[in-house]
Amino acid sequence: MLVEYSLHYVAAVLGDHLYLFGGGTSQKNIGTGSTKPYDVVHSNKPLAIPLNVDWNTETVNDKVQTMDSPANFPIVRPGLWPNAKENKMYSWGGGFRGGLPGGNESIKNPRLRVFTKGDPDSLYGAWAIDPKPPGDPPAHIKLTQHASWTSCNGLGFIFGGSYVEVDPQQYRGFGTLGLVIYNMTYNTWRNESETSKKFGKAPRAGNHEHGTAACLPTAGTRGEGVVVFLGGAQRSIENPADQLDVRMDTVSFYDIGSNDLYTQKTTSESSAPLARRRACSVAARSSNNRSYEIFVFGGLNEQPANMHILTIPGFGWFQAGYPGADSAEPRCNQACVVAGNRQMISVGGMPSMSDQWSSPDPWKNGMKVFDMVNLKWGNQYISSAPAYESPAMIRNWYDQGGVAEWDNDVNRRLFSSSTETPQNSSGPNIAAIAGGAAAGGIVLTALVAGLLFWYYRRKRGRAAERGTSLHEDPAKGSTKGTTGWDHDSSVTPASGDLPSEVQTMPSELHNGVDIVHELQPAEPKPSELSASPSNNRCYYR
């Protein structure tokens, strides 16, 4: 049998390694006597690829390592939540294919899976299975597949997806309502079911399937982070066949600090890409902190597969095309991560044309590397590539006055502080400032001291007249450190012990920034959670 395409991988970066989980590989049947033109070989063995050395996609197999995983590990798009501070990676959800043993049991009694590296620089570690379900009762948080997921500031997010109901005759997928959030610091779960209903309209409101999620770690209220949801579809919680694509000219995002979901239209001067399912996306922040860019690649409904870029806070779309790609074909069901500062690695995927299994994958080993600054595809990964900066066409757009057409002041404030546009200046360089500081230091010190003395004397006089504190308004109370987690939420403590370890053997990967933000859990409240295939050949069961 000849290897054709690989699909349904999920990928994450932890430390110096890219980890790949799940998925299957199509193999064309030649001389096997099989009546089918191809078979899909499934695997639940994670793969790891080093990121601290250079490699080429044509020869990367020499560096790939295979690891052991817990029994019954889902093989179809489980969510992955890396946490660099804790040196751990969490996994939730996913589906089963190919008759792997234990699939039905894992659907009935889902558990959180935790991978802990033995050493920050090590490839290997130990898997553990949480013995207790994430909810009380367990039905509050169901195991889903094809949901949108990411990790952001120590929180794991998984939005919507479909719940697989075990049936003696068949698997039946129902749209799942809710934005599930796992707090890695406090080991607690919550389902923001009411908040998620702001996404779409009934009976599909609160569901997101076959879409993408990206973390902007310093945006939003108090800079606590924002999670952006793009593409995909919404499946009805009443009728599995009722699905509606999500438009790309309106962006939905969850603000961690206010615990709320918002929408913002993209700028009218930019052309939003067509709605698409089964794409992949990554986020990167410019070195001058001017903007974030979210790179969206491929998906259904596009031939060839282009690279689309959404810049925030401008909320403008840009198209990079497909320069350097081996062929101008569609591609979907791939996984993408940021690695080596400015590179996006795309793994797996397949075309959506009807003869998708008739020829080998033009991508060497099913992988490709995209330079997010030069906007070109290639086969070479460079571990010491320069830092990311916004592509030239986006920098020029901002320089020429490109701004978002804000839907409201709330949206504007959420993105104004973390991505301020720096003023253009041709002022003195750092060396000149340092040289002048020695000569003028005494004068500057005296001037600053005088100004501070005058300022505090004036403030104290006014405060004494009012009889109030200089630091906060007693009538309003201090808001510093509040998180808004009491709004429509339920927190259920998960088990603190994870004893069921599976040691990995030395034989043979998240995007964004893993900054652990320690949010205090809210008091437990009752949670609520309700429990089609595309005709495009990119659909895979």
Each domain of the chain, given as residue ranges in start order, spans 2-405+491-503
pLDDT tens per residue, the chain (541 residues)? Answer: 345 677 778 999 999 999 998 777 777 665 566 666 677 777 777 889 999 999 999 999 899 998 877 666 666 788 999 999 999 999 998 877 655 545 566 777 788 999 999 888 888 888 888 887 886 555 568 888 889 999 999 999 999 998 866 554 455 678 888 999 999 999 899 999 889 999 998 889 999 999 999 999 999 999 999 999 999 999 988 888 889 999 999 999 999 999 999 999 999 877 899 999 999 999 999 988 889 999 999 998 788 889 999 999 999 999 998 877 766 688 888 999 999 999 999 998 888 645 555 567 888 888 999 999 999 999 999 999 999 999 999 999 999 999 999 999 999 999 986 555 433 333 333 333 233 333 344 333 444 444 444 444 444 444 343 333 222 333 333 333 333 333 333 333 444 444 334 333 333 333 433 433 334 444 343 333 333 334 444 544 4
pLDDT at 31: 58
User: What is the edge-to-edge ordering of all strands in the sheet holding 2-7?
Assistant: 2-7, 24-28, 38-42
In this structure, the strands spanning 500-503 and 125-129 are antiparallel
CA dihedral 447, 449, 453, 456 (to 10 degrees): 110
Write down the pTM of the prediction: 0.77
State the residue for tokens 């079911």.
Answer: 193
Four-way CATH pick for 2-405+491-503: 2.120.10.80, 2.170.190.11, 1.10.4190.10, 3.30.420.40 = 2.120.10.80
Nearest residue to 9 via CA among 40, 47, 39, 60:
47
pLDDT at 343: 99
State the residue for tokens 């089963």.
Answer: 96
Name the amino acid, one letter, at 325.
A
What letter would DSSP give residue 398?
A: H
User: What is the edge-to-edge ordering of all strands in the sheet holding 79-83?
Assistant: 79-83, 88-92, 113-117, 125-129, 500-503
Interatomic CA distance for residues 335 and 482, integer angstroms: 35
Interatomic CA distance for residues 453 and 184, integer angstroms: 46
Q: Residue 186's Cα: distance from chain center in Å?
A: 21
pLDDT at 233: 95
Joined together, the tokens standing for residue 246 give 């999500």
β partners of residue 42: 24
Q: CB of 433 within 8 A of CB of 439?
A: no
Q: CB of 336 within 8 A of CB of 509?
A: no
pLDDT at 225: 98
Interatomic CA distance for residues 162 and 531, integer angstroms: 8
Nearest residue to 12 via CA among 282, 203, 234, 385:
282
